[in-house]
A and B are shown apart, each in its own frame.
Chain A
Amino acid sequence: DAGITQSPRYKITETGRQVTLMCHQTWSHSYMFWYRQDLGHGLRLIYYSAAADITDKGEVPDGYVVSRSKTENFPLTLESATRSQTSVYFCASKGQLPYEQYFGPGTRLTVT
């Protein structure tokens, strides 16, 4: 399917476990982003990537790790999940226009 996809869509995990959220885009966009959505905070940037093998921290990077070995994939890993990481996670990529981002459908993560 064309566009940007995320998997899994829903995930329940326990405190202390490692979790990886997947993001895949078919447009070959250079820039990709990971956000978390929490009530009252809107969307906050966790990490972003300008190209394969180039990543940088966003506003709330603590507890997360990213990698980007291929342009189309941008996985987000929670190394040791905590309850405060319960959230909805969105992946996005930037198109040709200077400001527009395309978002995936999101992953709802619950840490018990």
Chain B
Amino acid sequence: DQQVKQNSPSLSVQEGRISILNCDYTNSMFDYFLWYKKYPAEGPTFLISISSIKDKNEDGRFTVFLNKSAKHLSLHIVPSQPGDSAVYFCAANGNNAGNMLTFGGGTRLMVKP
């Protein structure tokens, strides 16, 4: 049973427009949520995170929104650029002793010039 789900395997957006990537979770004990970005033939790299005590975190063109009642978070990229084309993984940290992350299945974002 997947505790973190990304229901859209792919998303295509025009350059300059907004990209919205979605993520749903089932475990109410998760207290940190993260987004990782992955280019082909490279490892994932950390992008942005949000604590469960907040509902929004912004870093330049990237904003993450958290809706705890809906167990839903989203990543907004504005404006989208061709270099943003990558696979984006949503992850959650349950403050467990092992510092483990639970990842979603990923969404492939394609930004068209």
Among the 9-residue stretches B36-44, B54-62, B65-73, the one with 4 or more Cβ atoms under 8 Å from chain A is B36-44
The 10 closest A-B pairs by CB, nearest first: A103-B43, A43-B103, A42-B103, A42-B105, A99-B93, A99-B32, A103-B44, A105-B43, A42-B106, A100-B46
List the B residue with the shortest CB-CB distance to A91: B43
Interface flags for B94-112 (1: CB within 8 Å of A; 0: not) read 0100111111111000000
Does the CB pair B43–A48 fall under 8 Å? no
A42-B6, A94-B99, A100-B34 known, 20 other contacts, Cβ within 8 Å:
A40-B9, A42-B4, A43-B89, A43-B91, A44-B103, A48-B100, A56-B98, A90-B44, A99-B32, A99-B34, A99-B99, A99-B101, A100-B46, A101-B46, A103-B36, A103-B43, A103-B44, A103-B45, A104-B43, A106-B41
Does the CB pair B106–A58 fall under 8 Å? no
Task: Give the size of the chain B interface in residues (CB under 8 angstroms).
Answer: 26
CA distance A43 to B91 in the complex (A): 9
Asked if A43 meets B93 with Cβ closer than 8 Å, knowing A56-B98, A94-B99, A99-B32, the reply is no
CA distance A31 to B97 in the complex (A): 11
CA distance A48 to B49 in the complex (A): 22
